[in-house]
Amino acid sequence: MRSTARRRTFLGLVLTATGLIAGCGKGGGAPGQDDGIVVGFSQIGAESAWRTANTASIKAEAARRGIELRFADAQQKQENQIQAIRSFIAQGVDVIAFSPVVETGWEPVLREAQAAGIPVVLSDRAVDVTDESLYVTFIGSDFVEEGRRAGRWLAEATGGQALIAELSGTPGSAPAIDRKQGFEEILSAHPGMKIVKSQSGDFTRAKGKEVMESFLKSPEGATLTALFAHNDDMALGAIQALEEAGIQPGKDVRIVSIDAVRGAFEAMVQGKLNCTVECNPLIGPQLFDAVEAIVAGQSVPKRVVTEEGVFEAATAAEVLPTRQY
């Protein structure tokens, strides 16, 4: 593997000290422990239950395979991700993987990785670049299809009649852009379904609640019959806001969201959420399959799409015990 153990150790210590990088796996890069695969992973943050499960899957799979993982939490900031990627380049890791918080603005740093000969894997979210040779593969969900699935479910459940509030994800992020696109594609065939309020809740429960409260206070608040939340955490926050306003979530306002985390199943069992579209965060095994293949010089598909389902309240109690996240 790339032999820059001393440099890795120095930078690893500096970055751990600044709180940006946490080593896990074998030994944290001490001199002489340079014989295995070293992966630098820049995670977005810990904004949702989905993200927590995704991080756990990645860390567990790296440990299981004896891969040294240099893990950096970007706390939802693109500049922190760029800084982490630059540090991974300086450390001479074997592969860089990251989950980009937004789609644009990556070309310069990806060119630096390419110039250093370090392959890059996109995990969970895509980037918007003109040169696709800047990354080797993208492993993650089809977010447009997730948006379509949410739209189809709502059209069916409401007979094509709904005044919809939309809680969208982080502005400029692939899931926010793509889920909206897929959802609106379905709406275009249903003139009785309209998005009357739309705002970002940044994929967090707290922001979902706050934005829903402001929707309810707006002139359109009393007319809303449905909610499309780009993730479960925002839907769970919105459910709280609806209840505090004396509105029955799941009944007065039909709710569909995305992720299929345990909290969504619990809300469905209580009749407060109607449907969740699955977005699978457990992509550690696929990620490290790709990493090992790349390091072994094998070719990998440019796009690996994770398989996902749709779950309704009617089956929530039965499915809940089987959920892994």
What span, in angstroms and rounded, lies between the C-alpha atoms of 272 and 264?
9
Q: Which of 100, 175, 208, 263 binds ligand AHR (CB under 6 A)?
A: 175
CB 144 within 8 A of CB 179: yes
CB 105 within 8 A of CB 81: no
Q: Does 137 contact ligand AHR by CB under 6 A?
A: no
Residue 52: CB partners within 8 Å, gap ≥ 6?
46
Q: Which of 147, 164, 161 is nearest to 190 (CA)?
A: 161
Residue placing its CB nearer to ligand AHR in the complex, 226 or 279 = 279
Residue placing its CB nearer to ligand AHR in the complex, 91 or 204 = 204
Site string for ligand AHR, 254-273 (x = CB under 6 A): ----xx--------------
User: What DSSP state is assigned to residue 177?
Assistant: H
Q: Which of 124, 178, 213, 278 binds ligand AHR (CB under 6 A)?
A: 124
Q: Does 231 contact ligand AHR by CB under 6 A?
A: yes
Of residues 12 through 51, those in contact with ligand AHR by CB under 6 A are 47-48, 50-51
Q: Does 121 contact ligand AHR by CB under 6 A?
A: no
Query: What secondary structure does DSSP assign to 258-315, as a single string?
Result: EE--HHHHHHHHTTS--EEEE-----HHHHHHHHHHHHTT----SEEEPP--EEEHHH
φ and ψ of 180, to 5 deg: -60, -45
Residue placing its CB nearer to ligand AHR in the complex, 91 or 280 = 280
Minimum Å gap between C-beta 231 and ligand AHR is 4
Site string for ligand AHR, 177-206 (x = CB under 6 A): --------------------------x---
- CA torsion angle for 264, 270, 275, 276 (degrees, to 10)? 10
Residue ranges that bind ligand AHR, judged by CB under 6 A: 47-48, 50-51, 124-125, 175, 203, 231, 233, 258-259, 279
